[in-house]
Chain A
């Protein structure tokens, strides 16, 4: 019981996402931060207010952290389809598996 709970906590903290999600996270982080930087400069320059520019920059960065860092469901939409363990049901039961390790053929039942 406690172990299951710990595993769940570990999963959330670790927050792994799938490959498509990683690509999306990369694009989001770059795009959002660059946009925030541009907006904070332009607003500050045209309203002549450097404190406002600083606040926009920091708030935008906080927002980016919030969007990118947690493993949101939209980062996990394309989970990797692994092959079944042992190369499929037929393989495990009937035929031998041939594993090549260090150019030596290992035979395994």
Chain B
């Protein structure tokens, strides 16, 4: 510490230690805040249509369009260390046993969304007007748990799902599952868990009743051919 340079090195060196320790404590503080997410989901309208994976494709595949209604309360996932929350809905159905492949599950995402916390609003991929609106909705608030409350009626899926075989119509035992992924400012990524872990409770419900995908819907144009 006898001249300026050694003092700079010493102070900076200890600063990095302090920063690391504080970050570790912040990450650990996540365990003190209870997580009690819950969601109810049901399908409202299911269709299966024929389509092409891309414009020049000669192969035709079947695509399922699953509309759904969702009521979710994920507000307890928003704490001071939450940067953003990724919410996604998957359709899952058991694969028919073929040879050795038993007990396999088909899983495809039909809808997803990123919910930013006010501290991460500037990261969201929105147009300037929408971003301004989003920022104003949480003005003066460091966290905004109300953003975790989702309510959709007859929502269109973002992604139409298919299967590697190209066949998806008349699949039975399909269920919709609500998933989330908490992305913190510091610490580990955490997903929804199927068991209680300390103060983090497992997702309340979040699975729809099993339903069957219908047969292919014939377009009028195709019928006349």
Contact = CB atoms under 8 A, between A and B. Distances in A.
Contact of A30 (B14, B25, B26, B79): B14
Interface residues of B, number: 24
Contacts of B25: 41
Contacts of A50: 26, 80-81, 119, 142, 185
B1 A17 contact: yes
B4 A69 contact: yes
Using C-beta atoms within 8 Å of the partner chain, give the interface range for chain A: 20 to 34
A41 B14 CA distance: 17
B3 to A, nearest CB: 5
B4 A41 contact: no
Nearest to B142: A49
A29 B7 contact: yes
Interface stretch (A1-9, A31-39, A89-97, A101-109): A31-39
B18 A49 contact: no
B29 interface: yes
B83 to A, nearest CB: 9
Interface string B88-131: 00000000000000000000000000000001000000000000
A16 B6 CA distance: 10
B80 A69 contact: no
Nearest to A14: B3
Main secondary structure of the interface of A (DSSP, over half): helix
A51 interface: yes
B142 A48 contact: yes
B189 interface: no
- Which of A49, A50, A71 is the most central at the interface, judged by chain B CB atoms within 10 Å of its CB? A50
Contacts of A71: 4
Contacts of A15: 3-4, 7
Given A26-B1, A33-B14, A48-B142, A57 B22 contact: yes
A83 interface: no
Nearest to B8: A69
Interface in A6-59: 13-17, 21-22, 25-26, 29-30, 33-34, 36-37, 40-41, 44-45, 47-53, 57
B1 A22 contact: yes
Contacts of B26: 41, 44-45, 50, 53
Contacts of A65: 8, 11
A68 B6 CA distance: 11
A79 interface: no
B139 to A, nearest CB: 14
Interface in B164-202: 185
20 contacts: A17-B2, A26-B10, A29-B14, A33-B11, A33-B14, A33-B15, A44-B80, A47-B142, A49-B80, A50-B142, A50-B185, A51-B119, A53-B26, A61-B11, A61-B15, A61-B18, A64-B11, A64-B15, A68-B10, A69-B7
